Chains A and B, each alone.
Chain A
Amino acid sequence: KAGVTQTPRYLIKTRGQQVTLSCSPISGHRSVSWYQQTPGQGLQFLFEYFSETQRNKGNFPGRFSGRQFSNSRSEMNVSTLELGDSALYLCASSSRTSGNNEQFFGPGTRLTVL
C-alpha cells in the first residue's frame, strides 16, 4: 500500500496570505488527522476528519480550518498567515476500525511564513 502523501512538501508565504495544504490518506483509511510541529511547541493536534465530518478539534484559532472529501483526501487551510504559523504540518491517516486506531504519518509540509 502506498503511504500517506502530502503536497506540497515545501511552501513559502508572506504574512497575511492564505495557504492550502493537501493530504492523501492510505487507501481505505477514512480518518485523517492534522498536526502542527514546531521546535517550541512540539507536536500539537489540529483536527481530525472522519467520513467528511470533523470529529475533534485542537486548541487553534479559527484561521485554521480543514475539510475532507468523499474519497477521504483532506485539505487544511490557514488564512491571514502569521510568522508563528511557520511549522511542519503533518497529516496522519487511520482506519479507525474496532480496536485499531494506529495512525500513519505523512512526510509533512514545511511552511515558512516571511
Chain B
Amino acid sequence: AQRVTQPEKLLSVFKGAPVELKCNYSYSGSPELFWYVQYSRQRLQLLLRHISRESIKGFTADLNKGETSFHLKKPFAQEEDSAMYYCALSGYNNAGNMLTFGGGTRLMVKP
C-alpha cells in the first residue's frame, strides 16, 4: 500500500522567514513524488515534481529515499505563497496513473 503523510495541517510564518513543509511517504517500489498547490479560489495545480529537480517560485524539494521524505522548502516566504499544499505520490500501480495525496498543509505567510 502507498501512503503520504503531511504532519502539519497548518504552518504559519512571517514574510521573509524560511519555510519547510514536510512530506513523508511509504511505497515499496520507486515512487514519483509531486507537490501540488491550491491558491484561494483556484484549481489544484502542479508546483514541482522530483524528477525534474527544478525550482519553481523559489520552492525546491529533494527526494530522500533513506528517510522516505520529500520536504518542500523555500528560503524566504512571500505573502503570495499563502495557499494549500499537497504532497502526492504516483506509484504506477497496475500501469495506472493513480495519485495518492497527503492530507495537505495550509501555509499562511503573515506580513
**Interface of A with B (CB < 8 Å)?**
3, 31, 33, 35, 42-45, 48, 50, 55-56, 58, 90, 92, 94, 96, 99, 101-108
Contact = CB atoms under 8 A, between A and B. Distances in A.
A106 to B, nearest CB: 7
Interface of B: 32, 36, 43-46, 49, 51, 86, 90, 93-104
A105 B45 CA distance: 7
A107 B45 CA distance: 10
Contact of A101 (B32, B45, B100): B32
A56 B101 contact: no
Given A90-B44, A107-B43, A101 B97 contact: yes
Contacts, number: 56
B99 A45 contact: yes
B94 A55 contact: yes
B44 A33 contact: no
Given A42-B104, A43-B86, A101-B32, A56 B43 contact: no
